[in-house]
Structure 1
Amino acid sequence: MTYCVGMMLEKGLVFMSDTRTNAGLDNISTFQKMKIWEQPGQGVITLMSAGNLATTQAVVSILDERTKAHDERDPSILAVPSMFQAARLIAKTLKDVIANHAQVGQRADSAFNATLILGGQIAGGPPRLFLIYPEGNFIEAGADTPFFQIGEMMYGRPILVRAYEPGLSFEEAMRLLLVSFDSTIKANLTVGLPLDFHFYETDSLEQGKTGRISADDPYFLAISQGWGEALKSALDQQPTFEF
């Protein structure tokens, strides 16, 4: 499965995704679920995916090919005039791929479903963040819904709901996200390290800080251990129930 988070901050946009695509006692594999398109000075677009791997790979491959083909009938993701138009283009591509993969004569669409988080900024417009559904429709993040999650979201959501603030720095956002991902990884075998991230700064119009956090990353290990100890300490400080 997957866990991905896209978050709006006053400073910019933050993205993080895990890389596990299969899980079992003897079958664990990884695959990058984050794709970034950049045209310095013109725009930066980040896409994260959850769902059927064949579907998400096909969507990314089609979008990549269109950036090289310069075909007016199939516009490039780098040529759209706004993030809204980027969301429309990607949503249509996703819907078409799912329809093409579905078995003829059967309602097998659900087997090929995928959900996407799209975010970025195109010159002339503000940073925007979208959640794209397999049906080809989408919603946009705003003040009431400042972050989106896809995949195994339930385990990491409580910390985001409680601790998110729009004024977080990128460093504080990294800490928050790592706690959210650590909680998810510990509760669900289908989510795992390494983790990919992209921190985009508003109006920079170029790829921001990117990287990969591995299982032996010292900061991640410190966060994981510290958060576990803090939870135990907080629980011990609560009043004991009396029968």
Structure 2
Amino acid sequence: MTPFWNKGLLLTALLLPALPAQAEEYKARAVINAWDRAVLSGELAARVTSLPKRPGASFKRGELLVGLDCALYEAQASKVAAENKAAGIKLDNARQLNELRSIGSLDVALAQSEYAQTQAELNIARINTQRCQIKAPYDGKVVTVLVNQHENIRQQQELIEIVADQRLEAEVVVPATWLSWLRPSASLMLQIDETGARVEASIIAVSPAIDPVSQTLLLRAELAPSAELMPGMSATAYFTAPSAE
């Protein structure tokens, strides 16, 4: 015979509503990256004349980062500009003589070709003078300066590394099996290793391919701008997934 107190517990259990399924917490490793990070190289062989920004300094888009000696290229541009002007005068004269039937159309065509050639050379010379000033392509900070003032650099030599530190994202590597519950735009929490700060984020992209060896997947998560975050920081990402009822 069932004791009275056991009958009471059984009746109570039958009358109580079922508890909702508890959410499960998953965690994975993450790293903070910048959307824009670049090492700027020199396109000319020249002497460094100006380095206004040092490592850690902030800059705005269009500000000068590296200045190069442009005297030679400016002189070349002036020379080609004079040649282009002379070719233009020669072309005008050829057209006038052609109207007077003093020369043929071939002479006019040759004068026009010479003018077009000098115009192209002038454009190249002007591009070279513009390359003497390396300006910031976006707002950011200087990571490191790879040359010193007064040094002579060669073409394609790396000069300065920059980063847009206000546009950050997190890259998270998770097991591919999480695809059974992971959804785009899902939210997550990042706990930064270096500072202990907790930052909210949301998934903006899921890699379209799974690594066949590790059976893992790469996620990209959007972060709000924060003075506490820096590119290269590592973190633990916490996800909340609903359990099956």
* TM-score > 0.5 by shorter chain: no
Q: Which has the higher contact order (CA 8 A, sep 6+)?
A: 2
* Structure with the larger helix share: 1
TM-score for both structures, normalised by structure 1: 0.18
Normalising by structure 2, report the TM-score. 0.18
